[in-house]
Amino acid sequence: MSILARYLGREILGAIAMALTALLLLYSFLDFIREIDDLSSSYTLLGALLQILLGIPTHVQELLPVATIIGALFALTRLATQSEFTVMRASGLSPGRLAAYLGALGLAIALVSFTLGEYVIPHTERIAHQIKVRATTGVVAQQFRSGLWAKDGGNFINIQEMLPDATLNNMRVYTFDDSFHLVSIRLAGQARWNPDGTWTLHDVVQTRIAPEGTRIERLQREQWRSDLNPDLLAVLMIPPDRMSAQALWTYIEHLRENRQRTARYEIALWNKLSFPLAAPVMLLLALPFAYYHPRNASVSGRVLVGLLLGLAFHLLNRLAGHLGLLNEWPPALSALSALALFGLGALVALWRVERS
């Protein structure tokens, strides 16, 4: 790597780090305001701060494209105003070579983004959900290979499969008395939520355990009341955009085998794979601004342009996903449309720079 490439990388990465830090502070402050409303005797200020801390990796990945274009515009404009960029161009730095430098830097940022989304965020999101659920509802739950386990008073609940419509398949309820003796085991083939706040259990086999012996009852249907409800289960489940690519692929295959809709999860998978490429696109999109004379716009003006472009990408990416889900567009089209549009804009701008 040349001295010039290292110098440009250091300047741009430093500016990106500053922009990312500022955005993280803003988002963390907004998270803190939101968490204050949930504070109680069980959910303390320390728990809220821990919740915010665990949410930082998610915000880092979401804000990287915005911080990248802001930082790149700031660094390149500063180099131009100090005439350093003019010296670089006079020394033979062509737009194509500069684009190659920025593309390599963007791929390094993309690798960081992918690593966060694949190996860090799924775990931090799960831990954050567990902490908040335990503090605010008293229900303790954890996902294992054997399914979802939850504690509700004297009941330990095991759910083998949880569908998006909150239908539970192959559920077991182990009930203990105050002395922690097992008093009953309830097995249900399926459980559905009712508007009156109860669950309807189907194909129930209940084993009652008493000193005088055990008794087995079989019921086609039974009403069951618990603090475990669909809203709580939705919190315990990691949203598709927070799942790892491997977990998404496995779940998509499971839904296909059961002939269920997979569009939402396919869009999330394509977003997961393509979103890290937003950083190289943002860097290439910022490059043409360096070739405009610095007197035509101030540093703050170009930073504002970067902020607007980054927010536009973020909003358009989310909008395309929702529209694709509503209109049943191909998942790849829904996930890649914003990236393709901004990538095309970057290529057109670079072409104009080459021609000028």
pLDDT of residue 57: 95
The answer to whether residues 132 and 148 belong to one domain is: no
Domain that holds residue 184: 141-227
pLDDT of residue 236: 56
Q: Supply the angle between the helices 56-81 and 3-36 in degrees, to the nearest 10.
A: 140
**Locus of tokens 């203990």:** 176
Q: Which residues of the chain have pLDDT under 70?
A: 1, 133-134, 136-146, 163-166, 231-238, 254, 258, 260, 292-299, 356
Would you say residue 172 lies in a domain?
yes
The answer to whether residues 304 and 157 belong to one domain is: no
Would you say residue 90 lies in a domain?
yes
pLDDT of residue 213: 83
- Please give the tally of structural domains in the chain: 2
Would you say residue 188 lies in a domain?
yes
Which string of b and e fits 33-64 if b means at least 16 CB within 10 Å?
eebeeeeeeebeeebbebbbebbebbbbbbbb
Would you say residue 197 lies in a domain?
yes
pLDDT of residue 140: 47
Query: Of 192, 227, 262, which marks where a domain is finished?
Result: 227
Would you say residue 232 lies in a domain?
no
The answer to whether residues 90 and 59 belong to one domain is: yes
pLDDT of residue 232: 64
Query: Of 202, 227, 252, which marks where a domain is finished?
Result: 227
Q: What is the pTM of this model?
A: 0.74
The answer to whether residues 274 and 126 belong to one domain is: yes
The answer to whether residues 176 and 321 belong to one domain is: no
Would you say residue 349 lies in a domain?
yes
Q: Is 314 exposed, middle or buried (0-12, 13-18, 19+ CB in 10 A)?
A: middle
Would you say residue 92 lies in a domain?
yes
The answer to whether residues 258 and 160 belong to one domain is: no
Joined together, the tokens standing for residue 150 give 């939850």
The answer to whether residues 258 and 320 belong to one domain is: yes
The answer to whether residues 218 and 241 belong to one domain is: no
The answer to whether residues 280 and 342 belong to one domain is: yes
The answer to whether residues 73 and 123 belong to one domain is: yes
Is residue 131 a contact partner of residue 123, using CB atoms and an 8 Å limit? no
**Locus of tokens 């603090």:** 227
